[in-house]
């Protein structure tokens, strides 16, 4: 079997970079919205919950098109960003990270919210009665207790990013070395005569990376739960 080519290595490393940054970008928002949905009742809560989970049921191409309309060079948000600050994410790897973050966001929020639902509210109330602020209670009690959910959300979002195709190719296209992530490279090889070997190899690598992410998530979750005495 031929060694992995430079183009394949670039696609793999780009996918890993996009996956890591998609998690970094979405994690603070994931924790906030999970807490908001789990702990607060407000007008429009069901609508917000539906909007957050839309990427799970919408065709990924629709999500990519929406990102293009919003963040493209001529988009509703993208145009002023480019004119005022010279910032543009469309057709760049940063845009691929944003697309992956949006697609993996519902999985992250759901995992963290489920973890929040299992936290004993009595512990938080007891800390509040002792004079701790809401922020201190969250940082010292709630956050450690929901760490298994956060880790699960991170890994699920990262794994989803590794497999993201539709939203990414619609928003940032298929640019070698810039936006051609692993799934897009795999698709590209299937369209090239004689590219079956590369496509098969990338498919195997995709499976291995996804399984590794899930196994790491399970191991980390068990270790954190053991330390918390759960």
Q: Spell out the domain ranges in the chain.
A: 6-37+51-227
Tokens (6 digits) for 171: 């928003």
pLDDT, average across residues 9-19: 93
Residue of 226 and 215 predicted with greater confidence:
215
pLDDT of residue 1: 55
Two structure tokens written together for 217:
């998530």
Query: Over the stretch 144-171, which tens digit does the pLDDT of each residue have?
Result: 889 888 988 999 999 999 889 999 999 9
Residue range 176-205, pLDDT digits in tens: 889 999 999 999 999 888 888 888 999 999
DSSP 105-146: HHHHHHHHHHHHHTS-HHHHHHHHHTT--HHHHIIIIIHHHT
CB crowding 160-199: b at 16 or more within 10 Å, else e: bbbbbbbbbbbbbbeeeebbbbbbbbbebbeeeeeeeebb
- Euclidean distance between CA atoms 96 and 180, whole angstroms: 9
- Can you state the angle between helices 6-39 and 93-117, rounded to 10 degrees? 40
CA gyration radius, the chain: 20
- For the entire predicted model, the pTM comes to 0.89
Grouping H, G, I as helix, E, B as strand and the rest as coil, residue 3 is coil
* The predicted structure's pLDDT at residue 223: 78
Assigned CATH class of 6-37+51-227: mainly alpha
What is the spatial distance between Cα 165 and Cα 183, in angstroms, rounded to a whole number?
A: 6
């Amino acid at each position: 079997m031929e060694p992995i080519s430079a183009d394949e290595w670039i696609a793999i490393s780009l996918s890993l970079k996009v996956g890591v940054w998609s998690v970094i970008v979405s994690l603070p928002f994931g924790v906030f919205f999970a807490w908001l949905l789990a702990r607060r009742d407000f007008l429009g809560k069901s609508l917000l919950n539906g909007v957050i989970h839309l990427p799970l049921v919408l065709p990924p191409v629709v999500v990519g098109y929406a990102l293009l309309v919003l963040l493209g060079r001529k988009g509703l948000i993208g145009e002023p960003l480019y004119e005022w600050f010279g910032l543009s994410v469309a057709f760049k790897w940063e845009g691929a990270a944003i697309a992956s973050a949006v697609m993996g966001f519902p999985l992250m929020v759901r995992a963290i919210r489920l973890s929040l639902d299992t936290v004993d509210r009595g512990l938080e109330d007891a800390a509040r009665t002792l004079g701790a602020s809401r922020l201190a209670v969250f940082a010292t009690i709630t956050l450690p207790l929901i760490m298994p959910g956060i880790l699960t959300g991170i890994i699920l979002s990262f794994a989803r990013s590794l497999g993201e195709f539709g939203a990414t190719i619609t928003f940032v296209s298929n640019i070698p070395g810039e936006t051609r992530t692993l799934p897009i490279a795999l698709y590209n090889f299937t369209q090239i005569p004689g590219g079956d070997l590369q496509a098969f190899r990338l498919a195997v690598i995709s499976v291995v990376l996804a399984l590794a992410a899930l196994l790491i998530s399970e191991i980390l979750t068990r270790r954190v739960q053991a330390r918390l005495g759960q």
